[in-house]
Amino acid sequence: MMKKIRLIDTTLRDGMHAVSHQFSTEDVSAVVKALDDAGVDTIEVSHGDGLGGSSFQYGFSKATEEAYLKAAAGAMTNAKLCVLLLPGIGTHKELEMAANAGAKVVRVATHVTEADIGEQHIKIAKSLGMEAIGFLMMSHMVDVDKIVEQAKLFESYGADAVYVTDSAGAMIPTQITERIAAVKKAVSIPVGHHAHDNMGLAIGNSIAAIQAGADIVDGTCRGAGAGAGNAMTEVLVGVLDKMGYATGIDLYKIMDAADDIVMPRLHRPPMITKESLSIGYAGVYGSFLLHALRAADKFNVDARDILIEMGRRKTVGGQEDMIIDVAYELANRK
């Protein structure tokens, strides 16, 4: 029997980074309808930085998240509506709003060492009748034992699944294999992987994760996402089909969704550039890219130097404000 792999599409969440969070509600409806028709199991819709992310710090969305979620829910027939929540950016109020708007799944995303700050959100989600997934970001920054420890914490809080997330696109397949295999052995819940393509390894790392035991992987149509983007949903479907895994997704329909519906709506088609490659090489958060480009232009410095320095300082998501400080310091060294 073919092993079933659950594929969560996050074009309308991680892909928000590729359009500066400016998808319209009409865009959301059109994309969701195409993904649902193709057979995608779960569709994630949120600001690029999760519920509550629309702000001066992270960039304002074109519409409210409630409007996005209602548009998505109205366009779905079979898929489950998912949201992302980063504790401290999103709160229980946003989570309750999402549930009322039709969200059935929430991924509670914390830094890889901070699963404990997600405990209350996992429990609130469960009380709302939602599927709750623990999402360990920046998993390249710690050793395997720490990832296992944190995954077990999420499981103890009642999470239905746990993710090993390569937020920076910094890992190579052997590192993915080691981490996924260890977590899979340590927990009794499904294990997922979310890949970025900053070093050209998103598909390869997703396959490595599956071969190491992962049950869930993520993709975005045309790879839309932070940095150089994500593993392409349509490519994952084709590759997994050739490898003998079942996704339940129609290959032609997901190709059409990507090329005919999503691609025309992208402001910045994802690609590996010298800056996005630097993100993966330095191991910094994917959403730093646009902030670094703007700061580089403002202070007349090389964006690569900013990103490498941010990596040297071991910065994490939420520390975007440091990019200006780093750019200023680099400018004054000249």
Q: What are the tens digits of pLDDT across the range 246-260?
A: 999 999 999 999 999
Which is nearest to 273 in space by CA: 300, 256, 296? Answer: 296
- Whether residue 318 has pLDDT greater than 80: no
For residue 21, report the phi and psi dihedrals to the nearest 5 degrees.
65, 30
Q: Which amino acid is at 213?
A: G
Asked whether residue 167 is marked as a ligand-binding residue, the answer is yes
Asked whether residue 196 is marked as a ligand-binding residue, the answer is yes
Q: Assess contact for 31 and 266: CB atoms under 8 A.
A: no
> How much is the pLDDT for 1?
66
| SS3 at position 270 | coil
d(CA 249, CA 72): 19
For the ranges 52-61, 74-83, 276-285, the one whose mean pLDDT is highest = 74-83
Span 21-42, mean pLDDT?
98
Asked whether residue 222 is marked as a ligand-binding residue, the answer is no
The least confident of 55-64, 194-203, 256-265 is 55-64
What is the pLDDT of the chain when averaged over all its residues?
Answer: 95
Asked whether residue 304 is marked as a ligand-binding residue, the answer is no
Span 299-325, mean pLDDT?
90
> How much is the pLDDT for 323?
94
Two tokens, residue 150: 């944190």
| SS3 at position 231 | coil
Span 171-192, mean pLDDT?
98
> How much is the pLDDT for 300?
95
> How much is the pLDDT for 40?
98
Asked whether residue 139 is marked as a ligand-binding residue, the answer is no
Active site residue 21: no
d(CA 34, CA 306): 39
- What domains are defined for the chain? 6-263 (3.20.20.70), 274-333 (1.10.8.60)
Q: Which amino acid is at 76?
A: M
Counting DSSP H helices and E strands in the chain, the numbers are 13, 8
> How much is the pLDDT for 210?
98
Which is nearest to 237 in space by CA: 40, 79, 80? Answer: 40
Two tokens, residue 85: 């929540």
Which residues are CB-contacts of 252 (< 8 A; sequence separation ≥ 6)? none
Annotated active-site residue in 17, 47, 193, 291:
17
> How much is the pLDDT for 2?
74
Which residues are CB-contacts of 323 (< 8 A; sequence separation ≥ 6)? 288, 291, 292, 295, 306, 310
> How much is the pLDDT for 181?
98
